[in-house]
Amino acid sequence: MILVTGGAGFIGANFVLDWLRTSDEPVVNLDALTYAGNLENLASLKGDPRHVFVQGDICDRALIDRLFAEHQPRAIVHFAAESHVDRSIHGPGDFVRTNVNGTFTLLEAARGHWMSLEGEARAGFRFHHVSTDEVYGSLGPTDPAFTETKTYEPNSPYSASKAASDHLVRAWHHTYGLPVTTSNCSNNYGPYHFPEKLIPLMIANALAGKPLPVYGDGMQIRDWLFVTDHCSAIRAILANGTPGEVYNVGGWNEKPNIEIVNTLCALLDELKPDPAGSYRRLITYVTDRPGHDRRYAIDARKIERELGWRPAETFDTGIRKTVEWYLANQDWVAHVQSGAYRDWVEKNYAGRE
């Protein structure tokens, strides 16, 4: 049995689905079901006894202790986090609460559980913390990609809260011996991605004939990782990662945002043409967000060298699969675009014209 936090969100749900496709080991899935958590992501597991869903808050120590006592998980995979930079600018308190205090609560509960174990159970226990490349700060055009030893230089409330959680995880290993691993991943994309982030937002807006808002000059560069490749990396770390180690996970796909938007428009022109003309006509440059990091790039050679992991998808194959999934799952998109979602989009993009 493994315990997954945030397993109804984008990456967490993909991990749970992927895990149960490749393993019969059961999953206890803890998620608070905030705006980005969605049980529709897990609809295919309805009635599957290998999947135990619990709605709850990672800051609830009594609940976490009960789950450890009841299910005796051999590992925890910690996805649960507030993760959208724009939201962190508008409301940083939620990010500190969930990402910092929540991680602290999980670490303390995990430490108590681990210390109660004996023999092989204690030796085999793992706490895997899922983090982000944003903790490393911003790169210049010719700077080398982020390695695991890169100095932390977070520039947003989101990345600062994740950096804090990374430091807590490291400290719990070095101070208490808790067997932890951490992965810092690049931008994920794929099925079930909540449409506030770049790729799903552009797809949803294009299909609705709405403007495609591009921040600044659109030349912010990110490394893109298909979500199932991220899932396979975490499985590799759980299986063979060294306690106390950090592994950077990337897709070897550095691309500027405007190139991503143009690629999406071209795929939609091919797969669902609009009689009004190319979707590129909807591209609209808007005022950049405050403190927008210019470039991220992941050096993923450590996980390749030590654990034999490499991404299976190229960007071309992954982005086509993503667009095809959204076209085939328009009901899912419509359901997550609630009144609260529309209010958020209006709040975030108001006055950026």
Adjacent-strand bridge partners of 180: 127
Strand pairing report for 2-5 and 27-31: parallel
Report the distance separating Cα 161 and Cα 96, nearest Å: 6
Q: Which of 86, 133, 229, 313 is catalytic?
A: 133
Q: Which residue has the tokens 């070095």?
A: 174
**18 counts as catalytic:** no
Which of 229, 242, 10, 234 has its CA nearest to residue 129? 234
Neighbours of 242 (CB within 10 A): 12
Report the distance separating Cα 201 and Cα 218, nearest Å: 15
Report the distance separating Cα 348 and Cα 289, nearest Å: 9
Q: Which of 31, 86, 136, 158 is catalytic?
A: 158
Q: Which of 134, 166, 223, 229 is catalytic?
A: 134
**158 counts as catalytic:** yes
Contact 4, 28 (CB under 8 A): yes
Report the distance separating Cα 275 and Cα 12, nearest Å: 37
Phi and psi angles of residue 180, each rounded to the nearest 5 degrees, phi first: -110, 155
**133 counts as catalytic:** yes
Residues annotated as catalytic (active site), given as ranges: 133-134, 158
